[in-house]
């Protein structure tokens, strides 16, 4: 049996998610601002959950219909064969995105949708699952915009950015899925050294290590929405995991260097890396960003050595004045110490990108929540190549 599978992502990430999905061998049927659709089997949902680095959720479509009122929506949801999907002794929660004229309270739509599900199951099986707000068991997602309704099982449950390795949140960490998209958007191409001064909780270095060693991003996760539906085949999941484990490269031929001047932060980054299984692949050092060792660079066929930095953005005016100096110093560091590398700066403070004092070869737009960010690329050619 096949259905529409919608892989969702944060704003601006869809093109990278599309590439990932195509690389896994699927044909994209639709691209949305924050999601990619394919047609596939439930088994494909397991694969996608395991391998996608930039997706937030993998949604399995149960039905699509039109509804103007809550009663109409209730009736259509009650027609779905939930008894084939939700364990009768299980637990279900309904989450939604509702923007339709007759509903001004999303909670009401969720409640009617949940009622339709449990009423159906009581009718068919004379028993009903528990229900509530927890999203760590069966999760149903109701999308209802104008009269268009789509009902999905959220096969991820909790977002895929929760990889299971973040032991410490850090001060202003990049979301794992965003860090992966940023890395995919560069010309590094998983072929070359990755130098990450100001690494904070280590997200960029850890995600780079996972890519370089071909480690599936969700291998450390123990719970997914798909585990809480009737068709879930534990043996099949074990096989997919074993295949992914067998595909891991024992080490990476490239250097990954993560530095930060805050010892406590760096210890936390190391612990996160240990939890992700890549501590050995990353050279962690406590130092000012200007002291970061830069390995000697060489021509990479289809890739590049890169230095990537995510400095603070400065939320208050005073901070920004101080940061101007830091950004100017980053420019000097790129120019003087990173020759032969591609330099990347990721920031949510667009005016500060001008202070770098280098000509950008590319500016890529990203969003973190409601903040417009830029990944700015600098080609740091010229001069003699440096070795450490
Ligand atoms: C925005 S955070 C980086 C967040 C990181 N991308 C993550 O995902 O956790 C910026 C980091 O730069 C570090 N930092 C600030 N000034 C520095 C300097 N002069 N040298 C080295 N690290 C610095 C801070 O300690 C902080 O951890």
Q: Is the CB of 203 under 6 A from ligand 1?
A: yes
| Index of the ligand 1 atom closest to the CA of residue 288 | 20
Cα(327) to ligand 1 centroid in Å equals 12
Q: What is the pLDDT of residue 386?
A: 43
Task: Write down the pLDDT at residue 316.
Answer: 67
Instruction: Show contacts of 349-353: CB within 8 Å, 24+ apart.
Output: 349/313, 349/314, 349/320, 349/323, 350/374, 352/313, 352/314, 352/320, 352/323, 352/324, 352/327, 353/327
Give the neighbor-by-neighbor strand order of the sheet with 28-32. Answer: 28-32, 35-40, 3-8, 57-66, 148-154, 138-145, 91-99, 130-131
CA distance 61 to 109: 18
Tell me the CA distances in angstroms from 379 to 188, 195, 320, 374, one per residue in order.
Answer: 12, 15, 26, 16
Helical segments of 294-337, H only: 317-337
The per-residue pLDDT for 317 is: 61
For the stretch 117-129, pLDDT in tens is 999 999 999 999 9
**Cα 322 to ligand 1 centre (Å):** 14
Among 181, 194, 261, 307, name the best residue to mutate to test ligand 1's pocket (greatest count of ligand atoms within 8 A of Cβ): 261
Q: Which residues are within 8 A (CB) of 148 and not within 5 positions of it... i.e. 6 or more apart?
A: 64, 66
Give residue 388's pLDDT.
39
Give yes or no for residue 198 CB within 6 A of ligand 1. yes
List pLDDT tens digits, range 270-283: 999 999 999 999 99
Which residue, by CA, sits nearest to atom 26 of ligand 1? 200
What pairs with residue 36 in β-bridges?
A: 7, 31
Ranges under pLDDT 50 in the chain: 384-388
Task: Answer yes or no: is the C-beta of 378 below 6 A from any ligand 1 atom.
Answer: no
* CA gap 126, 110 in Å, rounded: 22
The three-point CA angle 140-145-146 to 5° equals 140
Atom of ligand 1 nearest to the CA of 329: 19
Residue nearest atom 13 in ligand 1 by C-alpha distance = 198
Q: Is 5 in contact with 45 (CB distance < 8 Å)?
A: yes
Predicted local distance difference test score (pLDDT) of residue 369: 84
Q: Name the pTM for this structure.
A: 0.95
In sequence order, the β-bridge partners of residue 363 are 376
Q: Are strands 342-347 and 306-309 parallel, antiparallel or unpaired?
A: parallel
Q: What is the pLDDT of residue 384?
A: 44
Cβ of 289 less than 6 Å from ligand 1: yes
Query: Does residue 310's CB lie within 6 angstroms of at least one atom of ligand 1?
Result: yes
Residue 170 CA: nearest ligand 1 atom is: 9
């Amino acid at each position: 049996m096949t259905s529409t599978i919608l892989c969702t992502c944060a704003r601006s990430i869809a093109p990278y998610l599309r590439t990932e999905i195509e690389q896994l061998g699927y044909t994209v049927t639709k691209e949305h601002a924050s999601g990619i659709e394919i047609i596939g089997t439930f088994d494909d949902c397991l694969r996608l959950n395991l391998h996608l680095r930039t997706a937030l959720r993998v949604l399995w479509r149960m039905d699509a219909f039109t509804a103007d009122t809550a009663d109409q929506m209730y009736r259509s949801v009650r027609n779905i064969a939930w008894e084939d999907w939700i364990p009768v002794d299980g637990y279900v929660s309904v989450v939604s995105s509702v923007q339709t004229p007759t509903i001004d309270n999303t909670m009401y739509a969720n409640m009617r949708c949940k009622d339709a599900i449990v009423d159906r199951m009581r009718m068919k099986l004379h028993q009903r699952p528990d229900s509530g707000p927890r999203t760590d068991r069966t999760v149903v997602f109701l999308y209802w915009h104008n009269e268009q309704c789509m009902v999905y099982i959220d096969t991820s449950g909790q977002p895929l950015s929760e990889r299971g390795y973040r032991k410490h949140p850090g001060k202003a960490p990049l979301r794992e899925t965003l860090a992966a998209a940023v890395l995919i958007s560069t010309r590094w191409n998983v072929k070359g050294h990755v130098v990450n001064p100001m690494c904070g909780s280590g997200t960029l270095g850890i995600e780079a290590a996972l890519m370089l060693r071909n480690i599936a991003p969700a291998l450390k996760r123990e719970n997914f929405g798909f585990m809480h539906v009737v068709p879930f085949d534990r043996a099949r999941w074990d096989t997919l995991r074993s295949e992914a484990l067998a595909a891991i490269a024992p080490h990476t031929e490239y250097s990954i260097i993560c530095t930060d001047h805050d010892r406590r932060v760096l210890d936390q980054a190391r612990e996160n890396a240990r939890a992700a299984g890549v501590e050995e692949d990353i050279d962690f050092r406590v130092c000012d960003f200007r002291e970061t060792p830069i390995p000697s660079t060489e021509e990479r066929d289809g890739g590049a050595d890169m230095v990537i930095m995510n400095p603070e953005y400065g939320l208050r005016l005073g901070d920004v004045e101080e940061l101007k100096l830091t950004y100017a110093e980053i420019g000097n560091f790129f120019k003087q110490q990173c020759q032969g590398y591609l330099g990347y700066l990721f920031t949510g403070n667009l005016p500060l990108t001008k202070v770098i004092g280098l000509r950008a070869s590319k500016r890529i737009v990203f969003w973190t929540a409601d903040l417009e960010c830029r990944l700015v690329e600098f080609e740091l050619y010229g001069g003699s190549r440096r070795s450490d």
